[in-house]
């Protein structure tokens, strides 16, 4: 199987029934993408495929050969964080942190969707004309659950990152 993740090509042996989430975590050691429900209900496993947010637990890895896949590891790294990561830190957009990678990846994808309509390319650039109310941000982020209920801070973080 061949996957392109965060700009790096990987080739590995895996059962064709392997989910994208398990391929990322178990075969590529990209454990920033979390497994919560494994049933498409929590959003902890959110990654970007061709710039579009998806739940990695709901799709087979083999279906994404040739796609550009972006995980939280591809957004930033210690000392050089993505603006959305910086903003989540600034606003305490988390408590336990388990949902945070999925929240951040989803937020980056959501801003790109709002700026450009459905994206036709991979983009983690936050520049653009997005103007969303807090309620609209919450609605567009409703696929990402936070059991600690850090939702107000998450919305603040997204708004600041966009501004
Ligand atoms: Fe995929 Fe919960 S682990 S949506």
> Which contacts of 21-29 are long-range, i.e. CB under 8 A and separated by 24 or more positions?
21/45, 21/55, 21/56, 21/57, 22/61, 23/61, 24/56, 24/61, 24/69, 24/71, 28/3
Count of the separate structural domains present in the chain: 1
Ligand 1 centroid to 143 CA: how many Å?
9
Ligand 1 centroid to 51 CA: how many Å?
18
Q: Is residue 81 pLDDT above 70, yes or no?
A: yes
**Angle value at C-alpha 144, between 101 and 117, nearest 5 degrees:** 95
Q: Tell me the best of 47, 57, 99, 100 to mutate to test the pocket of ligand 1, counting ligand atoms within 8 Å of each CB and taking the most.
A: 57
Ligand 1 centroid to 36 CA: how many Å?
5
CA 95, CA 4: separation in Å to the nearest integer?
31
Q: Is residue 96 pLDDT above 70, yes or no?
A: yes
Task: Name the more confident of 68 and 114.
Answer: 68
**Domain with 62 in it:** 2-162
- ipTM greater than 0.90: yes
HEC secondary structure over 51-105: CEEEEHHHCEHHHHCCCEEECHHHCCECCECCHHHHHHHHCCCCCCCCCHHHHHH
Q: Judge if the beta carbon of residue 44 lies within 6 A of ligand 1.
A: yes
Q: Tell me the best of 43, 47, 53, 101 to mutate to test the pocket of ligand 1, counting ligand atoms within 8 Å of each CB and taking the most.
A: 43
Q: How sure is the predictor about 127, in pLDDT bands with cuts at 50, 70 and 90?
A: confident
The pLDDT of residue 126? 74
Q: Measured from the CA of 55, which atom of ligand 1 is nearest?
A: 1
Q: Is residue 19 pLDDT above 90, yes or no?
A: yes
For residue range 128-152, list pLDDT tens digits in order: 767 788 999 999 999 999 999 999 9
Residue 63 sits in a domain whose CATH number is 1.10.150.120
Q: Is residue 45 pLDDT above 70, yes or no?
A: yes
Q: Judge if the beta carbon of residue 63 lies within 6 A of ligand 1.
A: no
The pLDDT of residue 27? 98
What percent of the chain stands above pLDDT 90? 83
Q: How sure is the predictor about 120, in pLDDT bands with cuts at 50, 70 and 90?
A: very low
The pLDDT of residue 137? 93
Ligand 1 centroid to 103 CA: how many Å?
12
Q: Is residue 118 pLDDT above 60, yes or no?
A: no
């Amino acid at each position: 199987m061949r996957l392109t993740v965060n700009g790096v090509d990987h080739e590995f042996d895996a059962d064709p029934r392997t989910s994208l989430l398990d391929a990322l975590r178990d075969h590529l050691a990209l454990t920033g993408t979390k497994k919560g429900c494994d049933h498409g209900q929590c959003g902890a496993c959110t990654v970007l495929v061709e710039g579009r947010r998806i739940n990695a637990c709901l799709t087979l890895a083999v279906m994404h050969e040739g796609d550009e896949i972006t995980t939280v590891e591809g957004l930033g790294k210690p000392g050089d964080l993505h603006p959305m990561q910086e903003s989540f830190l600034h606003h305490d957009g988390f408590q336990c942190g388990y949902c945070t990678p999925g929240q951040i990846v989803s937020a980056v994808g959501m801003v790109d969707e709002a700026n450009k309509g459905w994206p036709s390319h991979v983009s983690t650039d936050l520049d653009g004309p997005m103007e969303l109310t807090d309620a609209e941000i919450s609605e567009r982020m409703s696929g990402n659950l936070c059991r600690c209920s850090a939702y107000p801070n998450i919305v603040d973080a997204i708004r600041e990152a966009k501004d």
